[in-house]
Structure 1
Amino acid sequence: MALSRSVLRDLIGRQLAQQVRFAASAPATQPKKPEALSQETHARKHEGSVKKVEHEAMKVADPETPKVTSMFDEWGTVYVSPYTKNWKPMPKDFKEHPDRDLANFPHPEMKLRPDKVRLGFIPDKWFLAFYEKTGVTGPYLFGIGLWSFLISKEIVVLEEEMSHMPPLLFINYMVLRLFGHKVEGYYDEVIQNDQIGPLSAVRDQELTGVKQFRSYVDTANKAYDTLLEVLPEVRRENVALELEAVYRERVNQVYKETKRRVEYLVESESVKRRFEQQHMVNWIVDQVTKSFGPEQEKKIMSKCIGDLKTLAKSA
């Protein structure tokens, strides 16, 4: 929420007044020129108006002040919102994002205080518009002449009920001077609680989320930096482990292949030995069988049958 032009004008005026006071306190080495004198006079006038505004702003209704003895003790108290009195203007070097559309979506502005008025209800800027053409008395003469014209042409008719206007205006002025700051404070509190408060809560919640995300990003960046420091060593260790795994796998393959070949040789020798034994047995049996005659076969068969019978009886 941006500050109003009147508040910015007051801040700039205070800065100019400080510069003038500093220049006045410095030792004068050269006579001042007429232009400098006019600028200094203008600055002094502005300083006087600023001091008047500051003096009025100091008369703020404070709940901690002692109880007043009369309602007129608060006469002309100027209300300054506690929510906005410490606001600061936007920095001059602030730059918007290039994608921000300020033409269609400008910054919202809200006046912190109403504009200065004269006679209780006439804006001061209306009087300033007359000064360049008519001088200081011009707006007053214009108002009196306009009012006289309206009465003389009976555009404004003076009747008996018109006598009520001055008392009513006086009463309104008195109420405004005595109780205006209280009404402003009440509605300022209502606006703060009903409108600005919920929006501020949403803003604070969003800011809390942003801060948490920022802390998470910082933690992740620190972890990433730490990882970058140990990453080369980790990669070297991983490569060494991979080489060790490949070496062990190849050694295992060599072992299996050697074992397979040795088992093949052992099996080949075993088969060869069994074949030779079987061949030798068959050859001996054939030779022995060929050496037997028919009579020997009968004797052997009868002998075998007799042995079998003997074995059967003993069993």
Structure 2
Amino acid sequence: MLSRLVLVSGPAFKSSGSFGACVVQASRSLHSSPQSLAPVPPLPEKGGKVRHGIIPEELFQLLYPKTGVTGPYMLGTGLLLYLLSKEIYVVNHETFAAASIGAVVVYGVKKFGPQVAAFADKLNQDKVSKAQEVKDLAMTSLAQAVEDEKKEQWRAEGRPMLFDAKRNNVAMLLEINHRERLHLVTNEVKKRLDYQIEVQNLHRRMEQEHMVNWVEKNVVSSITPQQEKESIAKCITDLKMLAKATQAKARA
């Protein structure tokens, strides 16, 4: 029946050049229109209101001002009678099969629709919760990254002071090294000067000892045996006189 309807309505579409031109113009306008950067509105979670399962509520609201409350029903009934009277739509076994299938579908929707809807809502809620969890983790990681970046920027602001402290430390190390080398040079020079003083003192002492030994040798060699005897006797006499004086003092 649908194929028959297409065959009947096909020539009418072919003969209407304005409809084809409108379609081509609409497609051109869709392809040539500038891209809109406006945010896309979110899709509604539930569809609009319908009557009798398939007829949109907007159609009734559109016909109410012109036809009244019974207008949409009269329009539908007249259109159905027109299709049947002109044999555009012929009632046959396919019609009863479609009605039976439709009844089964309606019964299945009424019977199992709430359970299927609840299951679908549960799956959707699980997906939303997982997506929200992933979003929260991403937001947490990004917030931590922002905090880390701020901390690094704060550390970068303190780099000049750190570099100044390092330069001061290097200058102090160079000064300490310079002073240590000066101290080392001073000690080495002092050691060499002390060595020269010790060498001079050694030379002087050796000269003095040599002079004393030479004088003593010459004096000893110049004394005759007679002078030696007289000197020994004189020493003995002096010792006796000293002993007598000591005894006299002891008695007194």
Structure 2 length-normalised TM: 0.46
Structure 1 length-normalised TM: 0.38
Q: Which has the higher contact order (CA 8 A, sep 6+)?
A: 1
- Greater helix share, 1 or 2? 2
Between Structure 1 and Structure 2, whose CA radius of gyration is higher? Answer: 2
